[in-house]
Structure 1
Amino acid sequence: MPSSIYDNDSGSISFSTELSPTDGYFLERSHPQDLYIDAASSYDISTFKARETGTETETTRGIPAPSRPPYTRYTTPSSAFSDETMPLIDTRQPPPAYVDATANLYEGYNSVQQEGLGSGVGGPRWLVTFSRNGPPQHMTGTPDDGEEVYRITTYRRSRRRPREFCCSSGIMIKITLVICAIAISAWLVAAATRRRGSKQHNGHGEDRNPDIPGVEFPKWPSHCNRNYRIKSTSFDFGAPTSLRIHELVTEKHDDIFRSIFGSVHIAKAPADQTTDIQAKLLFATPSSIEISEIKYTKTDTSLSVRDPIIKTSSGARHRSTSCLGIGLILFVSPGVMLENLVLTSNHLGTKIHPNLSLTITNQTTITLSSGSLSSSSFLSRKTTIDIISGSVSGTYTLLDLLSIKTKFGSISVAVEPRKAEKEHPRPAVFFAGSVSGSVNVEFERFDIPERDYNTTVDATMGSVTGNFIHGSATELKTQSGSITADILPYDADAGPSTLRTFTRSGMTAVEVLAPYTNRGTPMKRLTSEHRGNSGSIKLTYPQEWEGTIEGGTMSGSLVLRGRDVEIIHQGGRGPLQRSVKARKGKGGSNLEFQTGSGSCDVSIGRI
């Protein structure tokens, strides 16, 4: 066996004969088998401190320190820190292997709990179990037994705290739940009592009118005071020939109310209603503001709603949350016929409910200053809708006239064409226009009545989309927006007709479908014109179309497709960098298209 750990690797390497500081380390020496510390019972703390001070002073002066007291076997857990004297150089036995010395380093935690301070293998386990969080101790000083006892006691007590805490927490939770249940029950009883006594409402929900399903009043805005009261009155119009409704509430309450809102509902009457039309008028105010009298003017054929008389106005101090809600519900019995229906409002929107069997033989006029209109279909020979600030949606019948205008709102409607009057047949005229809003129109394309159709859509600052029935004239235009439309000609050759689209800034995509009637018959008398200042143009015409094609673009590509299309001329002409002239069949229709900046893609018939 080699005499040195370096013999196998170093061979002839010689080392100095001078003794190394570690020589003798591996010699057999007697080593105490147990842990020794200074006996705490022989010295009190003051003795240790005096000895420590004297030792330091004498050492500084070069005077040897007095000999240490005799060793005493560790028998009591007086301290976790000890002054050990284990000179490794003087020992005769080698230290334990590293693996043995460090194995199970953290098992001391359990052994301390089970066996007490006097058990364990020694240093490493004590360090893990009782590491100090305070400042480091002096190497020769005696640790403070009181601090260690406090820490140990704290640890042992903490073993019992979770159970005590859980028990106390459980009791507190039960007590809290009981208190909450009692409080909620009391609140519910009080709320029910208040509601029955004062007829006040909690507003952020929807109070449904019990008379007609689907009618909510009021739809209280979130910024309004949460609690409100309702005052109402009812009317009976009997069997009027016409009906005029005017909401004339002014802005004189601006110092009290932040906003005035509400709706007019036209709905099917309850089964037990004996007259043609009845009405219910409701006002809602915050609980701090009371209406003493509802002001209105009523005749056999009209109702004008005016400013209510306010009894108390303590809510004026809270104008930011004070609102005035107005609701008017018209209950119409099935089969009622009116010559005219006029509805005007300054603050209210209008909702016409489904299953309404109402016929207006002459004209319906709805004018709203601030509010939207939503409608289910009812019969009206002529319908005129004019809204300043609000949108229009729903389904509307088209007999002789359907005109929808908005200034600041969109239009999204479905149109149901109906038959013309037999004695005095007129064209079905449809108009939709919006100054600032998009327009979407969907004509019903099943079971279309035979009659002439005249359609105009004008969106100043918005897009135009939908499908339209084409009769004698169809015009779609917008200043700033795109046009996307399907055009369905009612008849292939009913007579001369015109189709025009125009957009100043936007794309145009128009598809002319095969005719609704006489499909397969050539369309010989359709004049079409599609123009745009800035935007692409995409056109698709059916196989039935026959006539002349001419168009181009000042800046962009040009594509003309069609199996039966014959090119007459192509190239640049005038300001148009790319232009084309072509013909399909022998018909007299004429198609023109032009854009200032954008591509043109035109398909005629089968490709």
Structure 2
Amino acid sequence: MENTLISIPIRLGRDRTLHIQQKPKSGITTAGGLLGALQSITSSIASRSGAIHLQHVPADAPAVLDVLGAPGTSHDVQNDITDSAQTIVVHTAPAEPLQIYLRWPRDAVGLARLHLQTADYPIRSAIEAPPPPLARELLVETRSGSVAGPLPMEHLLDVSTSSGPVGITLLPLRLEKAASSECKLSVKTSSGSVGVNAAVDPANAHAHLPGRDCAVALQTSSGSIRAVLGLTRSVSVRSTSGSQNLTGVLRDMSRDRRSDFSSSTTSGSQSIAVVAAADLDTTNPPAAEKAAPAEKKAADTESGFVCKHAAGSGSVRVVYPPAWEGTVEARSGSGSVAVTGGGVETDRPARNRVTGVKGARPLHHTDVSTGSGSISVKFGEA
């Protein structure tokens, strides 16, 4: 049974920052030879059982950081607090894993910035929707642990690991109408898989997606990427080695702005589906269509969706909804190329290159390429 070793009050406020950090104790050494190796293995296993937890508590409860451990466990916790910032450092020993709980009252005022950082502990969130934002900027960082659970995003959500998987779900927020819609989502790992909204049904995903003015960047050097994302101002998905399975939810087809959707992998296949949200409105002509001819021409040069999907080695499959109208160019260094769908006119200027166009006013553009592998682009239902 674990005991609460120390409980630290947290000061909240929209002008405050909070940094919680887990660090291994310095000066811990092990003996050499076989005994040292066994101690190292045991310590490594023990350290991985510790974790940082983010959870809600009742609205009338205080905001605290609780450090739990087995009876008799030593602890070394530093709490530095100023008028605008609070930094809590929990020093951990591999043989004495700790459970670190950040307990957040429901409906509590948030922070300017919340930074969760670990050396080798995983970070697990059990925050429930729909909360006020925990912080305008939320940074979640671990060197060799994992990050999992639902996370809210207001202006910035930055998740990074050096070696460990990421599996998060974006939470819908209760925001004031005047709140800015501009935001940034960044998820990066050097070695590990990435999942964002991976278990969310795309047909009902609108509550979990950032708005059109958001920038999204997902990146891994070694690992697969699976995500359900809104087609925002900028979506960039990159991997060196690993497959990509991406669903882009189309909720805003306004022609008065440009949006970029790019994916690339050096070695790995890509499966990309753009789906129309249930509440997509295509009946009202957007502002650019009502503009004068000169204004319309200027708007068209910097509007629409520009989609670029590239693989060094691997197949690429892209599917668009029936309402999508645009041009496409697909080419493969070695592999078959197909562009199909109702209302699509195609041309094959070379054996492994196909161009196509759909619609009387093809505003959007798609460019698909692979060095070695097949390509399939389809307009209409998959």
| Shared fold (TM-score, shorter chain, > 0.5) | yes
* Residue in 1 that maps onto 2:142: 387
Contact 1:419 1:449 in 2 (8 A): no
Which residue of the partner structure matches residue 452 of structure 1? Answer: 213
Residue aligned with 1:530, SS: strand
Structure 2 counterpart of 1:367, which letter?
Q
Structure 2 letter corresponding to 1:263:
A
The 3-state SS of whatever aligns with 1:545 is coil
The 2-side partners of 1:400 and 1:272 are apart by 27
Tell me the equivalent position of 1:517: 280
Contact 1:393 1:413 in 2 (8 A): yes
* Aligned-partner Cα distance in 2 for 1:373–1:582: 46
- The answer for the alignment partner of 1:409 in structure 2 is 164
| 2:377 counterpart letter in structure 1 | V
- Superposition pairs for residues 295-306 of structure 1, below 5 Å? 295-298=76-79, 301-305=86-90
The answer to whether the 8 A contact 1:234-1:278 is kept is: no
1:252 matched residue in structure 2: 27
> What's 1:582 paired with?
356
The residue that corresponds to 1:537 in the other structure is 316
Distance (Å, rounded) in 2 between the aligned partners of 1:270 and 1:510: 41
Higher strand residue share: 2
Return the alpha-carbon distance in structure 1 between the equivalents of residues 363 and 58 of structure 2: 59
From 496, 500, 503, the equivalent of 2:262 is 500
In 1, Cα distance between equivalents of 2:246 and 2:315: 14
| C-alpha distance 296-270 of structure 1, shift in aligned 2 (>3 A) | same
8 Å CA contact 2:339, 2:356 repeated in 1: no
Aligned-pair CA distance for 1:303: 4.2
Query: Is 1:593 equivalent to 2:353 in the alignment?
Result: no
What is the SS of the residue equivalent to 2:96? strand
CA contact (8 A) 2:240 2:267 kept: yes
Taking a change above 3 Å as real, the CA distance of residues 239 and 436 of structure 1, as seen in their structure-2 partners, is closer
Aligned residue type for 1:324: E
CA deviation after TM superposition for structure 1 residue 306, in Å: 5.1
For the residue of structure 2 that corresponds to 1:598, the secondary structure is: coil
Q: Report the number of matched residues.
A: 332
Q: 1:270 to 1:564 in 2, by over 3 A?
A: closer
* Aligned residue identity for 1:405: S
Hey, what's the Cα distance between the residues in 2 that align with 1:542 and 1:304?
Answer: 50
Partner of 2:246: 485
Q: Is the 8 A contact 2:53 2:123 kept in 1?
A: no
Which whole-Å CA distance do the structure 2 matches of 1:237 and 1:419 have between them? 25
Q: Is the 8 A contact 1:412 1:439 kept in 2?
A: yes
Unaligned runs of 5+ in 1: 1-206, 208-216, 218-229, 309-321, 338-359
Q: Answer whether contact 2:167 2:196 (CA < 8 A) is retained.
A: yes
For the 8 Å contact 2:5–2:69, the answer to whether it is kept is no
Distance 1:541 1:374 in 2: 35
Inter-partner Cα distance in structure 1 for 2:75 and 2:373? 61
Measured against aligned partners, the alpha-carbon deviations of 1:206-248 in whole angstroms (never above 9, x if no partner) come to x2xxxxxxxxx3xxxxxxxxxxxx7x64445385555444445
Report whether the alignment pairs 1:323 with 2:101.
no
1:410 shift after superposition: 0.9
5+ long unaligned stretches in structure 2:
32-38, 287-302
Q: Which residue of 1 aligns with 2:235?
A: 474
Distance in 1 between the 2:121 and 2:10 partners? 28
Which of 104, 108, 111 is 1:336 aligned to?
A: 108
Q: 1:371 to 1:528 in 2, by over 3 A?
A: same
User: Post-superposition shift, 1:509?
Assistant: 1.3
- Say whether 1:604 aligns with 2:379: yes
Post-superposition offset of 1:521? 7.1
Deviations 1:542-570 (A, max 9, x none): 22222222222221122221221122x31
Matched residue SS, 1:518: coil
- C-alpha contact 2:275 2:321 (8 A) present in aligned 1: yes
- The answer to whether the Cα contact below 8 Å between 1:564 and 1:606 also exists between their aligned partners in 2 is no
Cα shift at 1:525: 1.6
Separation (CA, whole Å) in 2 of partners of 1:595 and 1:299: 53
- Distance in 2, matches of 1:543 and 1:238, equals 51
**In structure 2, what residue type is equivalent to 1:513?**
V
> One-letter code of the match for 1:590?
H
Q: Is the 8 A contact 1:538 1:601 kept in 2?
A: yes
SS at match of 1:412: strand
1:429 aligned partner, one-letter code = K
> What SS does the corresponding residue of 1:435 show, helix, strand or coil?
strand
Larger CA Rg, structure 1 vs 2: 1
Q: Contact between 1:437 and 1:459, CA under 8 Å: does it hold in 2?
A: yes
CA shift at 1:280, angstroms?
A: 4.5
Q: Name the CA shift for 1:284/1:255 in 2 (closer, same or farther; >3 Å).
A: farther
In structure 1, distance between residues paired with 2:21 and 2:328:
54
Tell me how far apart the structure 2 counterparts of residues 580 and 302 of structure 1 sit (CA, whole Å).
57
Q: What percentage of aligned pairs have identical amino acids?
A: 22
1:222 corresponds in structure 2 to: none
Matches for 1:1-400 after TM superposition, within 5 Å: 207=1, 217=2, 233-235=5-7, 237=9, 241=13, 242=16, 243-255=18-30, 258=40, 259=43, 261=47, 262-268=50-56, 276-284=62-70, 295-298=76-79, 301-305=86-90, 323-337=95-109, 360-377=110-127, 379-380=133-134, 381-400=136-155
CA distance in 1, matches of 2:348, 2:162: 44
Distance 1:521-1:460 versus aligned 2 partners, 3 A rule? farther
Partner of 1:432: 187
Q: Of the candidates 329, 333, 343, which is equivalent to residue 564 of structure 1?
A: 343
Looking at structure 1, the residues matched to 124 and 55 of structure 2 have their Cα atoms a distance apart, in angstroms, of 12
TM-score by length of 1: 0.49
- Which has more helix, going by share of residues? 1
- 1:295: how far off? 4.6
- Separation in 1 of the partners of 2:196 and 2:59? 35
Contact kept, 8 Å, 1:522 with 1:546, in 2: the verdict is no
Give the letter for the 1:458 counterpart.
Q
Shift of 1:449: 7.1
1:518, CA displacement in angstroms?
1.5
